Amino acid sequence: MLGYLARRLVLLAPVLLGITVGVFLLLHLIPGDPAVVLLGQDANPADIARLRRILGLDEPLIVQLGRYLGRVARGDLGDSIFQSQPVTTIVFGALPATVELALASLLVAVLLGVPLGVLAAVRQYSPYDYGTMLVAQVGVSMPVFWLGILAILLFSVQLGWLPTFGRGEGVPAAVEAGLTGEGWGALRDALRFLALPALTLGFSAAALISRMVRASVLEVLGQDFVRTARAKGLRERTVIVRHALRSAMIPVVTIVGLQFGYLLGGAIITETVFAWPGVGRLMITAIGQRDFPLVQGAVLILALLFSLVNLGVDLLYAWLNPQISYE
């Protein structure tokens, strides 16, 4: 297992390098002179020259790349053009909100998607199966921003149960307040803010998860060891829970893990719908302001996070699955 881990880490290195080079090249995809595009056609030449210096555009591409890689390796992603703060400070400031939303959505997705998928498989071709798969089909086909808007219409505008926009203090701060004896009201508020975005994003992911879990369980139910278990005269419940589900859940780990990337992408849109102050919304605002260092930093940090999560999922999968050899 340690050898496998080492090999995966070695394979990760060129990918991380590739991500960084890709993010560096983004700036150079801007048609024309990026400094002019970022500042606008009628900016004065002195400002344009200054921005070119800040962005390092006055040097050959390969030198720029070398400097960029060096800076990234030291954890320096430059300064935001509009907020005159280091990009890392701004992005890491917004990251907890994004992670909170992604984790809460993942929780919703797993709690909804896994049991629904298992039940649909166990009762294949029943009205329950058809019903669940119909809802799942609609769920995967629904743009997450539209689902969010429908949720706002129902739960905020019509029923007035939940707040429409914002995050409040956030769950971690609210938990801390609760633990230090300031009461749990803040946590209740934080969860009320979290509910709509997490349900929206989680529902889309749950739809995908339930479809894949159903397929995975059906595949296992057709295998010999399940037939043997049934032939031994075990109760159907025991066959399903003790035998089939155990091995069906191994691919489900990968499925759920891969959803995290989907959730990070979906979070960009969900954050915009609910004005959730995370990295996604930060990035969209930065794109609007043409604050390119901030856009690059947000993309780089989200992609690095995604790669690390994927690595973790692969390792977990290898650890759970006795059929994988680490060699």
Partner 1 sequence: MRGSLRRLWRSKSAVIGGSIVLAVVLGAVLAPVLTPDDPEAMEMTKRLEGPSWRHPMGTDQFGRDLFTRVVYGARISLSVALVAVALSVVLGVGLGLLSGYYGGTIDLLVQRLVDIFLAFPVLLLAIALVAALGSSPRNVVLALGLVGWTNYARVVRVDVLALKGREFVYAARVVGVPDHRIILRHILPNVLSPILVLATLGVGYAIVAEAGLSFLGLGVQPPAPSWGWTVAFGTRFLRDAPHLSTFPGLAIMVTVVGFNLLGDGLRDLFDPRSRQR
Helix, strand or coil, per DSSP, at residue 237: helix
Listed ranges 108-116, 147-155, 232-240, 242-250: which one lies at the site for partner 1 (CB under 8 A): 147-155
Q: Which of 137, 223, 228, 238 binds partner 1 (CB under 8 A)?
A: 137
Q: Which of 6, 9, 150, 179 binds partner 1 (CB under 8 A)?
A: 150
- Name the H helices within 180-244: 185-221, 224-231, 236-238
Q: Which of 54, 63, 138, 241 binds partner 1 (CB under 8 A)?
A: 138
Quick check: 229 and 243 in contact, CB under 8 A? Answer: yes
Q: Does 108 bind partner 1 (CB under 8 A)?
A: no
Closer to partner 1 by CB, 16 or 177: give it: 16
Of residues 183-212, those binding partner 1 (CB under 8 A): none
Of residues 224-283, those binding partner 1 (CB under 8 A): 261-262, 264-266, 268-269, 272-273, 283
Q: Backbone phi, then psi, for 36, in 5-degree steps?
A: -70, -45
What single-letter amino acid sits at 259?
Q
Q: Which of 215, 253, 316, 318 binds partner 1 (CB under 8 A)?
A: 215
Q: Does 63 bind partner 1 (CB under 8 A)?
A: no
Q: Per-residue b/e over 168-195, b at no fewer than 16 CB within 10 Å?
A: bebbeebeebbeeeeeeebbeebbebbb
Other beta carbons less than 10 A from residue 308's beta carbon: 12
28 CB-contact burial (10 Å; exposed 0-12 / middle 13-18 / buried 19+): exposed
Other beta carbons less than 10 A from residue 42's beta carbon: 6
Closer to partner 1 by CB, 3 or 31: give it: 31
Listed ranges 225-233, 237-245, 284-292, 313-321: which one lies at the site for partner 1 (CB under 8 A): 284-292
Closer to partner 1 by CB, 215 or 315: give it: 215
Closer to partner 1 by CB, 207 or 239: give it: 207
**Packing angle between helix 279-288 and helix 292-320, nearest 10 degrees?**
150
Listed ranges 18-26, 93-101, 172-180, 315-323: which one lies at the site for partner 1 (CB under 8 A): 18-26
What single-letter amino acid sits at 193?
F
Q: Which residue has the tokens 């919703």?
A: 108
Closer to partner 1 by CB, 214 or 243: give it: 214
Helix, strand or coil, per DSSP, at residue 66: helix
Q: How far is the CB of 288 from partner 1 (least distance, A)?
A: 7
Q: Does 97 bind partner 1 (CB under 8 A)?
A: no
Of residues 25-54, those binding partner 1 (CB under 8 A): 26-27, 29-31
As a whole number of angstroms, the distance between CA 40 and CA 108 comes to 44
What single-letter amino acid sits at 122?
V
Q: Does 78 bind partner 1 (CB under 8 A)?
A: no
Token pair in block for residue 312: 């973790």
Q: Does 126 bind partner 1 (CB under 8 A)?
A: no
Query: Residue 86's beta-bridge partner residues?
Result: 79
Q: Does 287 bind partner 1 (CB under 8 A)?
A: yes
Q: Does 9 bind partner 1 (CB under 8 A)?
A: no
Token pair in block for residue 68: 């960029």
Closer to partner 1 by CB, 43 or 287: give it: 287
Q: What is the DSSP string of 17-40?
A: HHHHHHHHHHHHHSSS-HHHHHH-
Closer to partner 1 by CB, 190 or 264: give it: 264
Q: Give the length of the chain.
A: 327
Q: Which residues bind partner 1 (CB under 8 A)?
A: 11, 14-16, 18-19, 22-23, 26-27, 29-31, 137-138, 140-146, 149-150, 152-153, 157, 214-215, 218-219, 222, 261-262, 264-266, 268-269, 272-273, 283-284, 287-288, 295, 299, 302-303, 306-307, 310
